[in-house]
Amino acid sequence: MHIQAYTVEQVAEMLSVGRDKVYCLLRTGQLKSIKIGKLRRITDQHLADFVSSLESIDEA
């Protein structure tokens, strides 16, 4: 099993949003993450779940 983990900056670039927006999504629980020591990482599964949640909102 291969899991990719991204920095907040990488995720911001992938989603074409600012770093502050990613931190806001993390703070509100809309986007999940893991913490490794002092480092915050967002896995590919966290991203997939987040995008999936946005798609389900669009369909409603």
Torsion, CA 42, CA 48, CA 30, CA 2, rounded to 10: -30
Total domain count for the chain? 1
Q: When comparing pLDDT for 57 and 13, which is higher?
A: 13
Say if CB 50 and CB 56 are below 8 A apart. no
The predicted pLDDT at position 58 comes to 65
pTM score, two decimals? Answer: 0.85
Residue 60 has pLDDT above 70, yes or no: no
Q: Which domain covers residue 36, as residue numbers?
A: 5-56
Task: Give me the residue label for tokens 């995008």.
Answer: 51
Torsion, CA 56, CA 41, CA 23, CA 44, rounded to 10: -20
